[in-house]
Amino acid sequence: MRQWSVLGEGPIHAARQMGLLLALGAALTLVKTVMVPAGQRPLFFGLAVLQASTAAAGWSPIWARLHPRAPLVLTAPAFVVLAASIWAAGGIAAGAAPFFVLVFVWVGLHFPARAALAVTPAALLAYLGPMIAAGRPAQVVISAALFIPTLLAVAVVVARQVDHHRHDRAALRRARDEIAQAERWRAALTSTLAHDVRSPLTSVQFALETLHDDEGDLPAAQRRTFTEMALRQTARIRRLAVSLLDADRVDAEGRLRLDLQPVPLRAAIDAALTYLTHPVTVAMDGDMKICADPVRLEQILINLVTNALRHGDPPIVISAAPAPGDQVAICVRDHGPGVPEDKREVLFSRFSSADAAPESVGLGLWITRELARAHGGDVVYTPADPGACFTVTLPGAESPSQPPADSRP
């Protein structure tokens, strides 16, 4: 039903509304045909046919492919019909004046104020020309000449008001989009927290259960090791919670605020690996600095390494090298079976089905990509031989164009 609606904005609806106006004019002209002298009937019948054919053209789908102001051409046949009607009435415009009003209101509703100014000369000619041709007195013509400028003023006021409401609606749409994006980010951060605390919570639980079941058999050094591991993982959970659930991290426009600073990459990798219990090899020639949020960088590294440990086979190797565009490429490679080809398209999607592990919720790689993009980088997968390689690119600390502190993934 909406496909044939006359109400709305744009060239399609503008043309349809003018089509209805012309169809109304055609009906009235046909009624008038039987009321005029026989000598004038062919003229009125021809005017009715012109209006009906133009009305049909107003419902053509071609307007969707034309310029937004193309429907203004429909005013030309309308003015021709109105001018002929005034001339046939002996220069009396009483019957045609309401249609002039409707045409100018239609122009104001659908087009800018300058469009009304553009059609004014044609309207003046259509309104005053027949009067002059019919020999109407000069004072009548002069009085009538004030009518069209009045209609122009009406059309300008209508156009300005419509434009004002259009800007208000656009502002409301932007505000709704920004609120929706902010809510999506907050939901994403909450999901991130649920995902990232699983591993440290497991380590804390293991340490506490071991200490709880200890009946004095564990040496003091080993108990201290378990205690330090639990405290370290607890500190990580606390840091994740404060970081991810802090409402100030997401601004009104839905952008994630990053605490960007130069970060020594090798030190960041070593710190992240302290939270993991499996051996990981770091293969780097020298050290380099990247521009990153240290907490977010830790999330990226731990997610990639955890993904490699879960789905790949050892050895797990982390390497880094400069990349084009003053960026640094960090590669995490395993030597497992790799990612099946039919799963690669959804690899970085939220709640991805590519992760078949029963304990996985399919968020790790999605989180990693969103955080990398927030920094101005990205994450890609490339098959290795054997294994899988995930490469995250982040801006180098010496990059002349560092990513903005407010980043929108």
Mean pLDDT of 369-398: 90
For the ranges 38-42, 215-219, 262-266, 339-343, the one whose mean pLDDT is highest: 262-266
pLDDT value, residue 192? 64
Topology, domain 256-407 = Heat Shock Protein 90 (3.30.565)
The beta-strand segments (E) located in 83-135 are: none
Dihedral sign computed on CA atoms, order 153, 154, 159, 165? positive
Backbone phi and psi for residue 329, each to the nearest 5 degrees, phi listed first? -100, 120
pLDDT value, residue 315? 92
Model confidence at 26, pLDDT cuts 50, 70, 90, reads confident
Mean pLDDT of 188-193: 66
**CA 111/CA 120 separation, integer angstroms:** 14
356 has a pLDDT exceeding 80: no
**CA 147/CA 142 separation, integer angstroms:** 10
Question: What is the CB neighbour count within 10 angstroms for residue 204?
Answer: 20
Residue-by-residue DSSP string for 64-129:
GGS-TTGGGGGHHHHHHHHHHHHHHTTS--TTTHHHHHHHHHHHHHHS-HHHHHHHHHHHHHHHHH
Model confidence at 136, pLDDT cuts 50, 70, 90, reads confident
**CA 70/CA 158 separation, integer angstroms:** 19
Tell me what the pLDDT averaged over the chain comes to: 82
Nearest to 9 by CA among 53, 51, 69: 69
Could you tell me the residue ranges of all domains in the chain?
2-172, 197-249, 256-407
Model confidence at 203, pLDDT cuts 50, 70, 90, reads confident
